[in-house]
Amino acid sequence: MTVITMPVQPARPAAGSPPPPVPWRRMVWVTWRQQRPALVTLLGLAAGLAVFMLGEGLRIHHDYASLFACRPAGSATCRDLSSSFGSGDWHVGDAINIVLQLSPALTGAFIGVPLLARELETGTFRYAWTQGIGRQRWTIAKLVLLGAVFALGAAVLGQVNSWFYQPFAQQQGMTPLSAAVFGTRPIAFAAWTLAGFILGAFLGMLIRKTVAAMVATLAAYAGLDLLTWQYLRPHYPVSGLWPAQAVEACWLLALSLLLGAATVWLARHRAA
């Protein structure tokens, strides 16, 4: 007699019971779908800036090499090369440097703040937190996934800028520890971008008003940058570029973890 064994059907949740938690790998997809416009826009701008810096950097490096090799130094040809480098190339270099110095704060204000504050303002968080994700896991997934993407992109952009800005630093006698270039080196730039993003998310969750939190993020980031430039960096107990970069990245990472934990706590205990 042949016994037919029926496949075991997965147990169904009882009526009225909460849905099972969404796997973390599914939350990656959900986060991508929800934040896709901001991610595509920001990463597209970063990629476009990197391509521009590579193209302009080749020209600027060529101009600087021609200026450096020009002899005699006081000839009309050398003066023309120096004038062209100082008036044209320097404007491009300054503009790129300003954009990079501001980008962590802008990332925090325009990406970090709306990440959670917009859902609190519109009330859509009530729907999102009842889909088997939960407010705590939802907040952690967004902060970790997007923070990792922004930090990695900033590290790549910082490496491109290190090469791009080299002629200007050499002409002005800047060292890698100079304030104008230190913060845009790969390690520190990635850490500042992550800190700016988490700071914006924290203030967005704390204030719950997008515009007000944006203003607060820009002000808080400016204060943090000023504090670092005037008081922290001069007292790093290390010498050399990479140890100093590591020290700055470590305390910024610690700050990001602290702000991230505070953001998760607010989402769990105060959001309603």
d(CA 192, CA 188): 6
d(CA 65, CA 57): 12
155, 189 contact by CB (below 8 A): yes
| pLDDT given for residue 238 in this prediction | 84
| pLDDT given for residue 38 in this prediction | 78
d(CA 170, CA 5): 78
| pLDDT given for residue 128 in this prediction | 55
Domain layout of the chain by residue ranges: 39-269
126, 132 contact by CB (below 8 A): no
Chain segment 215-240, per-residue pLDDT in tens: 999 999 999 999 999 999 988 888 88
Q: Following CA atoms 97, 195, 145, 36 in sequence, which dihedral angle do they give, to the nearest 10 degrees?
A: -50
| pLDDT given for residue 262 in this prediction | 97
* Backbone torsions φ then ψ of 79, nearest 5 degrees: -65, -40
| pLDDT given for residue 2 in this prediction | 53
Chain segment 37-78, per-residue pLDDT in tens: 878 888 899 999 999 999 999 999 999 999 889 988 888 889
CA nearest neighbour of 84 among 64, 55, 56: 64
3-state secondary structure string, 7-32? CCCCCCCCCCCCCCCCCHHHHHHHHH
* Backbone torsions φ then ψ of 237, nearest 5 degrees: -85, 45
d(CA 213, CA 207): 6
| Residues with pLDDT less than 50, the chain | 1, 6
Coil, strand or helix: which one is 256? helix
